[in-house]
């Protein structure tokens, strides 16, 4: 064992396996009695690319990593040309798994070229029965890719030509790697030196002990992966490249090298396919280790348990499956509907409300519609201490929140002079400070983890539609809108999106709990009832707002007006603000 490897993969047991003229360096972590997970790295990488993911998996599994021939501390074949064919890589893989897990099939995880190879492993006859599952990220099967291209060349439609050209442009480096000698010179020279900085700047890969010092030789040898396989396979793809094990496909949506369209027809090759997407760039083993570890764990556990597919039924299940979502004000209205929508997409839900019973109800029903786990927490969002305690509890017991929905809010109507300082304080405490506390505490955890996330703040159409009936409420919501925009700018560099949702009149119980300033209790009751009836007649369901929230997270939208009147007002606020001001003077029909 060398000191180097120990520092990157702590506690790894190393051994060397001789096969086909090369010596492979294999590292093992975790209890070898547990199911074996084999991690295969890509190009230009070595097994250390998994140094963040492997220890997380080692808590539950027997994790095996090896340097692909010619990479890291495995030796290179002689001669290089013809030494990197997929057949030989399959020999290596079989030699490794026969040593580390002779009796039980293994779970394969591949990234980039590791995934390309693993597609070969999982689609050839001789590995049948030796692979229990395969998690693929950022590396298509060359055979599927070949069929994908030929289908688009033979029957070109505008869309297909577009897809072809798009992927063709993304593959620029593949063409370069096919030129002789030059790539090797570049990698051993200036490119090799600058690569870590480039990764940090362009791919947002955090610095540290990765990439390793073997990078220039890894990259120079690895060029033969392309030269030995790409042309041959793309020209004559195998017609029988069907997967014989369940496959989980994890697609980073911001991948600069691979188009997500490549996987459009994957179901025809993979009978048991689970799809996942995440907003990230190519090097997800470095940038999103928590998410990968959780998806791999879930998938491996499910296949060990005899299930072939793990996915909730909701529309965005690919994106939110297994993610931790916290919703405030989840005891009713939009918050509750949002919790259900996330639950349906397979997310783990924390329902926060000051009404304990309502929060518990939301959590219970969330589990029923698809959340693998759901918890109820009681907290008043305007209470700084309570929120701090909540943030601490959530972080220690459930983990770092992936999606935060600051939704809790109260209504307050009445003219400016009728609104007392206490009224002002109350509405700002909940509507604005609640959001501030949420962003401050949970946003901070997100930013510190450094693996992306999303914050949704529920503002209102009142944020840009002035009204003489809602001065305090509109002020609080306008502040939320601006806070969201500023925060979005600040967190953009860290992969954390911020969206402000601006609903119009939505049929929720905000009307029956709203305060009407300047009138006695009886009149307040009457107005609550009347406004509840009017909102009921409008009958815009909170479920549609929840759908808009999920869509906003998926598309990372900044400001999302929901309901036609909110969209209309948003449009007018930009193009005819004077008309909007005229509307502001109207007396509400209460």
Backbone angles phi, psi at 376, to 5 degrees: -110, 135
Residues within window 243-282 making contact with other proteins, judged by CB under 8 A: none
29 versus 532: smaller Cβ distance to other proteins? 532
The span from the CA of 40 to the CA of 45, in Å, is 10
Residue tagged active-site, from 66, 473, 535, 540: 473
By CB under 8 A, tell whether 358 contacts other proteins: yes
Which of 9, 317, 326, 369 binds other proteins (CB under 8 A)? It is: 369
Smallest CA-to-CA distance from 313 within 350, 347, 269 is with 347
Which of 214, 362, 476, 511 binds other proteins (CB under 8 A)? It is: 362
Q: Which residues of 411-432 are buried (b: 16+ CB within 10 A; e: fewer)?
A: bbbbeeeebeeebbebbbbbbb
CB of residue 362 vs other proteins: minimum separation in angstroms? 7
By CB under 8 A, tell whether 336 contacts other proteins: yes
Which of 543, 547, 557, 565 binds other proteins (CB under 8 A)? It is: 543
- Segment near other proteins (CB under 8 A); pick from 112-120, 171-179, 336-344, 468-476: 336-344
Smallest CA-to-CA distance from 7 within 195, 213, 194, 292 is with 213
By CB under 8 A, tell whether 354 contacts other proteins: no
Backbone angles phi, psi at 496, to 5 degrees: -105, 120
How would DSSP label each residue in 373-417? -EEEEE--TT-HHHHHHHHHHHHHHT-S-SEEEE-----EES-TT
299 versus 316: smaller Cβ distance to other proteins? 316
By CB under 8 A, tell whether 191 contacts other proteins: no
358 versus 390: smaller Cβ distance to other proteins? 358
The span from the CA of 307 to the CA of 230, in Å, is 34
Q: In this structure, what is the dihedral angle of CA atoms 197, 203, 205, 209, given to the nearest 10 degrees?
A: -40
Which of 509, 518, 547, 556 binds other proteins (CB under 8 A)? It is: 509
What is the 8-class DSSP label of residue 534?
H
What is the 8-class DSSP label of residue 463?
G
By CB under 8 A, tell whether 400 contacts other proteins: no
CB of residue 510 vs other proteins: minimum separation in angstroms? 12
CB of residue 369 vs other proteins: minimum separation in angstroms? 6
By CB under 8 A, tell whether 527 contacts other proteins: no
Which of 212, 274, 332, 528 binds other proteins (CB under 8 A)? It is: 332
168 versus 541: smaller Cβ distance to other proteins? 541
The span from the CA of 453 to the CA of 445, in Å, is 10
Q: How is the beta sheet containing 106-111 ordered, strand by strand?
A: 13-19, 22-29, 62-66, 36-40, 106-111, 131-137, 247-252, 273-278
Q: Tokens representing 193? A: 């030196």
Q: How many chain residues bind other proteins (CB under 8 A)?
A: 14
3-state secondary structure of 297: helix
- Is 473 annotated in the active site? yes
3-state secondary structure of 451: coil
Which of 80, 365, 386, 584 binds other proteins (CB under 8 A)? It is: 365
Which of 143, 344, 380, 429 binds other proteins (CB under 8 A)? It is: 344
By CB under 8 A, tell whether 547 contacts other proteins: no
CB of residue 357 vs other proteins: minimum separation in angstroms? 9
Q: Which residues bind other proteins (CB under 8 A)?
A: 332, 336, 340, 344, 358, 361-362, 365, 368-369, 509, 536, 541, 543
Any idea which residues carry the catalytic annotation?
Answer: 473
């Amino acid at each position: 064992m060398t000191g180097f490897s120990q520092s990157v993969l702590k506690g790894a047991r190393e051994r060397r396996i001789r096969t086909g003229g090369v010596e492979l360096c294999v590292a093992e972590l975790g209890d070898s009695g547990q199911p074996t997970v084999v991690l295969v790295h890509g190009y230009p990488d070595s097994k250390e690319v998994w140094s963040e993911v492997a220890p997380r998996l080692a808590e539950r599994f027997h994790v095996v990593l090896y340097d692909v021939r010619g990479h890291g501390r495995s030796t290179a074949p002689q001669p290089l040309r013809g030494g990197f064919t997929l057949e030989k890589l399959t020999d290596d893989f079989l030699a490794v798994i026969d040593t580390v897990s002779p009796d039980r099939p293994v779970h394969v995880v591949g990234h980039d070229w590791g995934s390309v190879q693993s597609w070969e492993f999982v689609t050839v006859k001789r590995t049948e029965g030796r692979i229990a599952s395969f998690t693929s990220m950022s590396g298509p099967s060359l055979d599927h890719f070949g069929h994908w291209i030929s289908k688009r060349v033979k029957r070109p439609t505008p869309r297909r030509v577009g897809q072809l050209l798009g992927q063709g442009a993304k593959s620029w480096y593949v063409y370069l790697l096919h030129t002789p000698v030059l790539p090797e010179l570049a990698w051993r020279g200036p490119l090799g030196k600058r690569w870590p900085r480039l990764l940090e700047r362009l791919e947002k890969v955090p610095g540290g002990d990765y990439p390793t010092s073997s990078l220039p030789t890894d990259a120079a040898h690895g060029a033969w992966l392309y030269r030995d396989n790409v042309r041959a396979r793309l020209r004559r793809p195998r017609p029988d490249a069907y997967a014989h094990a369940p496959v989980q496909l994890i697609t980073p949506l911001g991948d600069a090298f691979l188009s997500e369209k490549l996987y459009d027809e994957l179901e025809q090759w993979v009978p048991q396919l689970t799809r996942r997407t995440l907003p990230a760039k190519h090097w997800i083993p470095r940038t999103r280790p928590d998410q990968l570890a959780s998806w791999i764990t879930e998938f491996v556990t499910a296949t060990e348990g005899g299930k072939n597919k793990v996915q909730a039924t909701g529309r965005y299940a690919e994106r939110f499956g297994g993610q931790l979502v916290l919703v405030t004000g989840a005891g009713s209205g939009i918050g509750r509907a949002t919790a259900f929508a996330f639950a349906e997409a397979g997310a783990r839900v924390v329902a926060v409300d000051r009404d304990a019973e309502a929060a518990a109800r939301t959590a219970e029903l969330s589990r029923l519609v698809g959340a693998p786990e759901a918890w109820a927490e009681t907290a008043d969002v305007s209470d700084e201490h309570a929120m701090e305690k909540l943030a601490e509890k959530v972080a220690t017991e459930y983990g770092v929140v992936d999606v935060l929905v600051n939704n809790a809010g109260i209504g307050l109507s009445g003219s400016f002079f009728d609104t007392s300082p206490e009224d002002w304080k109350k509405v700002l405490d909940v509507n604005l400070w609640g959001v501030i506390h949420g962003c401050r505490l949970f946003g901070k955890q997100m930013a510190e983890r450094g693996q992306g996330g999303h914050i949704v703040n529920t503002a209102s159409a009142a944020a840009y539609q002035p009204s003489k009936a809602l001065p305090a409420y509109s002020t609080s919501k306008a502040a939320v809108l601006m806070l969201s925009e500023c925060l979005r700018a600040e967190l953009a560099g860290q992969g954390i999106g911020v969206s402000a949702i601006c609903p119009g009149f939505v049929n929720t119980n905000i009307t029956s709990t709203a305060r009407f300033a300047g009138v006695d209790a009886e009149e307040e009751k009457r107005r609550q009832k009347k406004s509840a009836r009017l909102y009921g007649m409008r009958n815009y369901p909170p479920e549609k707002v929840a759908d808009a929230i999920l869509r906003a997270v998926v598309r990372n939208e900044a400001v999302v007006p929901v309901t036609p009147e909110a969209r209309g007002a948003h449009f007018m606020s930009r193009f005819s603000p004077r008309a909007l001001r005229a509307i502001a003077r109207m007396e509400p029909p209460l």
